[in-house]
Structure 1
Amino acid sequence: MRFRIFTMMASGLLAACSPTATTTETADNKAIYSVYGRWITEPDGSVMLDPQPSGLVKWRDRLVTLSDRSAIETQRLRLRTIEPANAALIDAGMKMELSEQVAQSCFGSYVGNNPDLESLVIDPDDDSIFYMITEDATYADEMSADCKQKYLDTGSSAYPNLLIRLQVSGDEKVLMTHVRPLQYGSDLAVGDSPNDGIEALAFGPNRLLYLGLERDSKKQARVFTLNMTDDFWQNDEFAPVTDAKLNLPKFEKGNHPINGMDYYATPDGHGYLIASARNDSKLWIIDLKAKKPTRIVAMEFYAQLTSSTDNCQDYEKMANASIEGVAVIGQTVWMVNDPWKEVYPKNIICLQNKSNYENYSPLLFSLPIQASWFE
């Protein structure tokens, strides 16, 4: 394999994290964006070890991420705050704790013992409140007979997907205050795939929450909605979702899931979802008015090299990045990858990055939003 070598000047917030993204044209005149990532580092300067990021969100001019259940123990059940300018974690993170109400609920055992957490959003009216979703619960302790009966009709997997409310309760912790299970109508044909559930959350206007499903019973990605009204957390009954009926791509074979997304409005107020299709190294630009077909933005990912040899300087092209978190800040899309343990070591070419890949360390990527995506 031939190395692509880049040496670029950096300026401003975007370039401080990585060089400005470049584009190339394919034979059929389609653009491919070269996107550059910086290794996420701990406060002591060491590279972040195996966090398996599963979400990314803008919070108070920084970024926050969380880990799924496959992360190493020290990364689980905590929110980590990243300074986007240098991809540095600012502290050890905010540890999640359970309120008495959640601990005593039907789901207390599961959410208190390494749940499979996915995605992250901020309440549009109160930035001290986060929401996240759970996915795979096949390993969870069995619920009581009464709880199983109460939450039997999920419309999907036997153990329901759970929407969890988090309240920042101090500098070092967040409290799980409420939990509600999601319900899919039989007409939605979601199917029973416990590890292919909701992996993406994004708020649109008027407290409308969009939920991105990896795949349904026909192996197609879907987007649902949920009205997060003021009384939403006043009960623990099923929260039924609604099909957003968007113009999503359709595929006859293969897996093309949605794994992260955020809301973006053009200068004229037209709303879109910018979603990652991690298996394909693409962004989907999804029109929330469902008038335009989804635009597909192709990307190639490059990992930072912190030292140089003759053939390896500045950045190296990755074989697999697997983006699983998307966050919009101004006119920039920020992305974090979820190192896919089966394939991440295939990225090893330059020896300077060998240990980072072997330790499943993630990178923070950035890409300027292009007006052409919304034409």
Structure 2
Amino acid sequence: MADFLLSRTIVCIHNCLLSSAEIDQIRKSKEIDKSLEQEKTFVKKLVKILLLGAGESGKSTFLKQMRIIYGQDFDQRAKEEYRDTIYSNVIKGVRVLVDAREKLHIPWGDPENQVHGETMMAFDTRSSIMAKGMVETKVFLNYLPSIRALWQDSGIQNAYDRRREFQLGESVKYFLDNVDKLGQLDYLPSQKDILLARKPTKVIHEYDFEIESVPFKMVDVGGQRSERKRWFEWFETVTSILFLVSSSEYDQVLMEDRQTNRLTESLSIFETIVNNRVFASVSIILFLNKTDLLEEKVKNVNIKDYFPEFTGDPHNLPDVQKFLVDCFRNKRRQSQEEPLYHHFTTAINTENIRLVFSDVKDTILHHNIKGFFCPNY
């Protein structure tokens, strides 16, 4: 008891000798120390996930789904921005189809639509707003009559049927089939519209969310060749990599060089990532995306024409999917004890992504942060 009183007396004398400014400084210092300690704990717990893969594999769509699923839906301003992006997607898509019809020497269904085609090709793509991938409502409405007429033309439809021979956004048909809805003055995109809106990732997008008190940071760093040099900036402290592949693109070539097979490009990128020593302790999970498009494509397009080593039934979806998984599994140069975790996904299907990511979350936490939920961690 005497020692306790002596200690309190010393503290009291010490505080009395300190000025109020010095006391305040000590208090602030303790608050900073506490904040830093909390930050260290947060960093230890933070699950940092990189979305990697070639361009148009569905990374941005997946990130949108995380936002929808984990409680941060799109507000009025975001919907207006996506509306302008959708208008841009439609105008660019129609221009591609008009140009393809001419280059493929497909005749017009109605020769009078030549005028509408010329109207679309005269659109100023160099305008500052179009360069950002956005078109205002009033501009879009001016071109709406031409867009309607062209999409109904059999020549444009024939060009669309041969879309494998040129570069066309996968969502163009959906938006053109719903062009009357897009032309309404009060149109705002639905969740599905937003998920299908296409805008190349030119800047790094991050999304922070929390699951069962566990903080997650998901990062989309872009997949076009020009963007990949920035991937390495994000490799430090990464917990897991979700590698996305467009499983339906085995018969298509890259937009960047118009020669390289898109699936071959994805395999090459995956080989670099999966064999990198930096990721020796990082879980790499393969998402074979766009299953809905693959299911339709295998009915008509023989994968053996592009990958002669395929030995199954080219029109059987499970056979084609097994071949795709084997292609990626074989890119691991050294035998690894752990299996290659993979999922077949459709990124525009919210329920599918909800279920898949629930499994992925468990895989990540189990293999990468053991003891995560231990109170003394």
Answer 1 or 2: which has greater helix percent.
2
Higher strand share: 1
Please give the range of the TM-score, normalised by the shorter of the 2 chains.
under 0.3
What TM-score does the superposition give when structure 2 sets the normalisation length? 0.26
Higher alpha-carbon Rg: 2
Kindly indicate whether structure 1 or structure 2 has the higher relative contact order, using CA contacts under 8 Å at least 6 residues apart.
2
